[in-house]
């Protein structure tokens, strides 16, 4: 009985409050990675590294507080996966583009009676995260990246977010490429009018990269 109420409240009031639809800005942001990529010659694409990744997505750093139903609304642990492409710019610097599909979760906890019984519920949103960042490689084992990202929700009217991303990668080289683990932090910069909420997300990536070693 209470789970549908919690689910509806979180979906309508929390996720929609974090993202806001704006078609013009969406189109501009979506075109930026494509324009950058088209400036590279085909020979550069031939030397690109490709990474297949699995992702854990922790949305819990975002402070939602309580909604009108008295729920304590907070982020939860989600998951996903995708592809990343690193285009070489020099021996130690590359441009990383790609897409990571995420099933991001939000949960609510509500006291439902005078005895203090607690009912909890959760909902999730399907998100496409598209990073555009510079990756700096130090030796064969370590690299780090810094840049921006764009996100779009598949529900909620196609709402979106954008912001800054940074992280580091630990590689385990093999003959075919490298296994890696990579924590990264995404800080959303977009806010709904009158809101102080920014998306703050920690991603944990595990994957395998193959391609040119430059």
Angstrom distances, CA of residue 147 to CA of 4, 150, 163: 39, 11, 9
Tokens of 82: 């995708």
Confidence at residue 56, expressed as pLDDT on a 0 to 100 scale: 94
Give the DSSP per-residue string, 93-112.
EEEEEEEEEEEEEEEEEEE-
Confidence at residue 12, expressed as pLDDT on a 0 to 100 scale: 39
How confident is the model over 22-63, as pLDDT tens digits?
444 544 554 555 555 555 555 555 678 899 999 999 887 766
Beta bridge partners of residue 82, listed in sequence order: 53, 100
Number of neighbouring beta carbons within 10 Å of residue 70: 12
Q: How confident is the model at residue 4 (pLDDT cuts 50, 70, 90)?
A: very low
Number of neighbouring beta carbons within 10 Å of residue 133: 23
Q: How confident is the model at residue 15 (pLDDT cuts 50, 70, 90)?
A: very low
For the cut 60, the answer to whether the pLDDT of residue 137 exceeds it is yes
Pairwise CA distance, residues 164 & 54, whole Å: 21
Mean pLDDT of the chain: 76
Using DSSP's 3-state secondary structure scheme, residue 55 falls into strand
Say which range, 56-60, 84-88, 141-145, 148-152, has the weakest mean pLDDT: 56-60
Beta bridge partners of residue 100, listed in sequence order: 82, 129
For the cut 60, the answer to whether the pLDDT of residue 193 exceeds it is no
Percent of the chain with pLDDT over 70: 61
The yes/no answer on whether domain 2-211 falls in CATH 2.40.50.140 is no
Rounded to two decimals, the pTM is 0.71
Pairwise CA distance, residues 186 & 203, whole Å: 8
| Burial 30-55, CB ≥16 within 10 A → b, else e | eeebeeebeeeeeebeeebbebebeb
For the cut 70, the answer to whether the pLDDT of residue 202 exceeds it is yes
How confident is the model over 88-121, as pLDDT tens digits?
988 899 999 999 999 888 776 555 555 555 556 6
User: Do 82 and 209 contact (CB within 8 A), yes or no?
Assistant: no
Tokens of 210: 């193959």
């Amino acid at each position: 009985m209470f789970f549908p109420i919690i689910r509806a409240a979180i979906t309508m009031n929390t996720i929609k409050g974090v993202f806001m639809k704006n078609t013009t800005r969406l189109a501009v942001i979506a075109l930026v990675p494509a324009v950058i990529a088209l400036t590279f010659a085909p020979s550069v694409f031939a030397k690109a590294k490709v990474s297949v990744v699995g992702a854990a997505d922790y949305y819990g750093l975002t402070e939602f507080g309580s909604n009108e139903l008295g729920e304590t609304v907070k982020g939860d642990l989600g998951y996903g996966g995708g592809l990343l492409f690193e285009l070489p710019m020099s021996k130690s610097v590359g441009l990383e583009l790609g897409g990571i599909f995420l099933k991001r979760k939000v949960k609510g906890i509500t006291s439902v009676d005078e005895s203090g019984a607690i009912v909890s519920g959760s909902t999730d949103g399907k998100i496409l995260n598209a990073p555009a960042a510079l990756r700096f490689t130090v030796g064969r084992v370590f690299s780090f990246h810094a840049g921006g990202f764009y996100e779009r929700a598949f529900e909620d009217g196609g709402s979106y977010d954008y912001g800054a991303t940074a992280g580091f990668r630990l590689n385990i080289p093999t003959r075919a490429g490298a296994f890696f683990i990579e924590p990264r932090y995404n800080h959303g910069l977009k806010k709904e009018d009158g809101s102080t909420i920014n998306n703050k997300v920690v991603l944990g990536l595990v994957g395998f990269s193959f391609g040119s070693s430059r």
